[in-house]
Amino acid sequence: MGYKLGLIGYPVQHSLSPFIHQKFMENTGIQGSYQLFATEPNQLEKRVNELKRAGISGFNVTVPHKQAVMSYLDEVDTDAYRIGAVNTVVNDKGRLKGYNTDGSGYLRSLAEAYPDVLRQEKKALILGAGGAARGIYRALAKHGIQRIGIANRTKSKAEGLLDLQDLHTETEILSYSEAESSLDNYDLIVQTTSVGMSPEYDEQVISLNKVKPHTVVSDIVYKPLTTKLLRQAGDLGARTHQGHTMLLYQAQYAFEIWTGTHPQMESLVEQLEQRLRGK
């Protein structure tokens, strides 16, 4: 029988999670299945209760349910509660507990690629202030990055992130034009909005003209693998960090929560790249 896993969201049919978790099962020898549960918003409570009754081992949660699902769980981990979103649920002997692995997955993917940028004295800029930004902000602050800028189209929404401030981080809220003109202050720039995602691949949220060489520019968008923003970053001598690695590492965290086993990435990054390129 093995682990019964899956994903709740709407729509979910194009999700890469079944592919990733199948690979994790193959490389750890863990038996199980990972199913997609397309769930319209008004069906969420019913779905969660059904899965619980059916003895699901755990599930991921994606758009549009990451906030709403919290009401139907028995417990929510502190970080997920502060972030205000759950993407991973484990069934612990009939009690459903929610976690958020987006920010921690991002941090792990960055630590794998560019560990030098995660030193305390480095300065980070987050572009965007949605759910993904909240998770990444909390993960960076918890890691000990002390100076973080947050820029967003709607400045008041960026100010909302300050309620995650139990972390003694010096946080500055900026407009996109302020961010553009002070870009050379930052060692790490993390793009968390959907701007630049296919089919709008010809857009970028800010210009990177003033980026310092060697700054790391991350984009959480992974379709296309190299966004317009990352192309500009590369052209200007910055180091680039693509979004599909965050996708893999948030999945790795979730798999660890469900099974207690750490899957190796081995050739998975490459395999996912091939899949995203349609090969």
CB of 126 to ligand ATR, least distance (A): 9
Q: Is 122 part of any known ligand binding site?
A: no
Q: What spatial distance separates the first Cα and last Cα of the chain, rounded to whole Å? A: 32
CB of 146 to ligand ATR, least distance (A): 23
| Catalytic pick among 23, 66, 123, 228 | 66
Q: Give strand pairing partners of 36.
A: 7
Helix axes 102-113, 243-259, angle to 10 degrees: 120
Provide, rounded to whole angstroms, the least separation between the CB of residue 205 and ligand ATR: 6
Residue 93, token pair as written in the block: 């002997």
Q: Is residue 77 a known part of a binding site?
A: no
What does the DSSP assignment read for 123-189? Answer: EEEEE--SHHHHHHHHHHHHHT--EEEEE-SSHHHHHGGGGG-TT--EEEEE-HHHHHHTGGG-SEE
Binding site for ligand ATR (CB under 6 A): 128-133, 152-154, 157, 192-195, 205
Q: Which is nearer to ligand ATR, 61 or 265 (CB)?
A: 61
Residue 129 or 145: the one with the smaller Cβ distance to ligand ATR is 129
Confirm whether residue 132 is marked as ligand binding. yes
Closest CB to ligand ATR among 145 and 195? 195
* Beta carbon of residue 143, minimum distance to ligand ATR (angstroms, whole number): 20
Choose between 154 and 274: whose C-beta lies nearer to ligand ATR: 154
Query: 153 labelled as ligand-binding?
Result: yes
The answer to whether residue 228 is catalytic is no
42 annotated to a ligand binding site: no
Contact 150, 172 (CB under 8 A): yes
Q: At what angle do helices 268-276 and 17-28 cross, to 10 degrees?
A: 160
Cβ burial of 270 (10 Å; 0-12, 13-18, 19+) is exposed
The set of catalytic residues is 66
Q: Which residue positions form the known binding site for shikimate?
A: 15-17, 62, 87, 102, 222, 250
